[in-house]
A and B are shown apart, each in its own frame.
Chain A
Amino acid sequence: MNIESLLGASIDGLMLGFIYGLAAMGLTLIFGVMRVINLAHGPVIMLGMYTVYVLTSQFGWNPYLSIAFAVLLGLVFGVVMYFIAVHKVINAPELTTLLATFSVNLMIVGIATVVFTTTPHTVDVQLPSFRTGVITIQVTRVVSALIAIIVTASLYYFLYRTRIGKSIRAVSNNRNAAELMGINTSAILGLSFGLGTMLAAVSGGLIATLFGFNVLSGGGYETKSFVIVVLGGLGNPTGALFGGIFLGLLEGITTMYLPLGWVPVIEYVIFVIILLVRPSGLLGAR
């Protein structure tokens, strides 16, 4: 264990952390705006992965162009999902929306299993890696991290600098008041949900360029998102970003000292402990 490998693992984890943070922001955005925990989050990440897979392997698209398409697909999917499964029960207790989003989870995974079966798939991205000293950095990771950062920045710009973004923030603050001020809350809620799923889909697409996956992979990343969201505070996008970076670093460093199999244990245990001790997250809920 020398400083260079530690540094290498940290940089690696950091870059991955941006992608984790992106996914987690999708989850926390939905919760922040409408207090719904989207249990279909994992499968949507998986949808992003498979969008990239299908476009690159069946239609020969460039992987990063496919990710752009995943953006669109994720957005549209989320809006549709919102109006079919969530809108009717939006004011019901949190458990009802939990079950409703979970039902969509089952449907997505079910259809995907029928179409793609459970065999693993990969997306081939031919980009070099370069070395500085003893540290090897894969360009794919750098590109993915950069894309994640760009999307994050765009999201912030959208939320804080545009009129629709302001409407979203109004609705998440006080839905009734926003409605009274003439904001079409249903449309905004649908859009927000779509944004949340969009972020999930994009992160899935990015992950697909880095690792292999199958139809059940969404679950693992969903749990990471939950851990991050709970760490950073439900409804707090900045918290999700920092939480993601933290988790990425944590993963990167612990894999140097512990066998890979223990990483999920640590993540789940952190998750449960934080839920029990500080449900509002380390950085405080929105």
Chain B
Amino acid sequence: MRTLPNISFWLLLLVVLGVAAIPVINGDATLRENLFTILMLVTLASSINIIMGYTGYVSFGHIVFFGLGGYFAFYLMQNFGVHVIPAALVGGVGASLVALLLGVPVLRLRGAYFALATIGINEAMRAFMNNFEPFGGALGMFFNFSVYDLYGGAKNAGQLAYYAMIVVTLATIAASFLVKKSKFGLGLLAIREDQDAAQVLGINPARAKVMTYAISAFFPALAGGIYFFKNGIIEPGIAFDLQRSIESLVMVMLGGYGTVTGPIVGALVFDRIRSALITAPPIELGSFSINLSNFHLVVAGVLLLLVVLFVTAGVIGWLRQTFPATRRFLE
């Protein structure tokens, strides 16, 4: 039942790797851009799932780690010419440390209070960065193009970013799987079901939750470092975008929290719907022309409400419940 790396683990990684490799093989730049975004969303959603799906603590403001990782890495790349890989790793470790420090007091809160606190933390960080001159304040920081010389030009840098993102996404999925199937993950599940009962059974909830939070902070931070490296510009509004944070949450709920494949499915579906809406032609109603590009928020809201009211377990969760045979390979 719970043996580490089994067939579904490798299968999943191979599928993701395979799909991600397509634009590398056929050189389709548009596909590569789309997949870059999707991979990043998968990373964000999977990392929220690590804390939320396994411990039941919903991190509304999880994007704060994306932003922190981005800022730390950007600063190093911009001012010290550090290569993106070590810079992103430093950003990841930095964000994890922040998660460790904040996690100790914040994870003592229960349920809704924790969710609110994470929003407060994200907003506080955004407001702070808005005023923090060494990191560029409200205008943020931007690369002068010589930064890309280290990689042989902007085009190479873009490709490198894509490869790096593939690795990060695979690592996140692997971590999600390992956490879930390990003894550590079993303890988390117990905490999620009944924290007091878990304590009586010998589990130290505080330590387990904080460690999980730190793990879940590492991957979005890596993604942030890579994303803003590719973007060449970082500013507080984009780095600590609460809306993006909630969207990742919707993806997890949609796909199914507590599962490894759920966030992947959720991210994919959500992204496709949003793209469809953004590129859809405007609807003509008499003299009014309604542009659907902003409608994705409404769709996100409706989807979230439907999931919360009717299909709490999300797509994958529903599949696993309705067809128990799928439990074996749809983790």
Contacts and interface: CB of A to CB of B under 8 A. Distances in A.
**Direct contact, A vs B (beta carbon within 8 Å):** yes
Contacts of A106: 246, 297-298, 300-301, 304
B120 A268 contact: yes
B294 A113 contact: yes
A34 interface: no
Given A93-B111, A96-B308, A114-B294, A107 B301 contact: yes
A14 interface: no
A111 B298 contact: yes
Contacts of A262: 127, 131
Interface string A96-112: 10111011111111110
B17 to A, nearest CB: 33
Interface in B107-143: 108-109, 111-113, 115-117, 119-121, 123-124, 127-128, 130-131, 138
A89 B308 CA distance: 8
**For the side of the interface on A, what is the size category?**
35 or more
Nearest to A99: B308
A134 interface: no
A161 interface: no
B309 A265 contact: no
B196 to A, nearest CB: 15
A146 B90 CA distance: 54
Given A114-B290, A275-B109, A104 B305 contact: yes
A261 B130 CA distance: 7
A117 B297 CA distance: 13
A114 B291 contact: yes
A219 B113 CA distance: 18
Nearest to B123: A268
Contacts, number: 118
A272 B121 contact: yes
A272 B298 contact: no
B133 to A, nearest CB: 11
Contacts of A98: 58, 112, 115
A110 B308 contact: no
A107 B297 contact: yes
B107 to A, nearest CB: 10
Nearest to B112: A94
A12 B109 CA distance: 36
A106 B60 CA distance: 14
A40 to B, nearest CB: 9
Interface in A86-133: 88-89, 93-96, 98-100, 102-111, 113-114, 117
14 contacts: A99-B253, A102-B246, A103-B300, A103-B302, A103-B303, A107-B297, A110-B300, A114-B295, A219-B242, A272-B124, A275-B109, A275-B120, A276-B105, A276-B106
Interface of A: 37, 85, 88-89, 93-96, 98-100, 102-111, 113-114, 117, 219, 223, 226, 230, 259, 261-262, 264-265, 268-269, 271-272, 275-276, 279
Given A88-B309, A99-B249, A264-B123, 12 more contacts: A89-B309, A98-B112, A106-B246, A106-B297, A107-B302, A107-B305, A113-B297, A223-B119, A223-B123, A265-B127, A272-B121, A275-B113
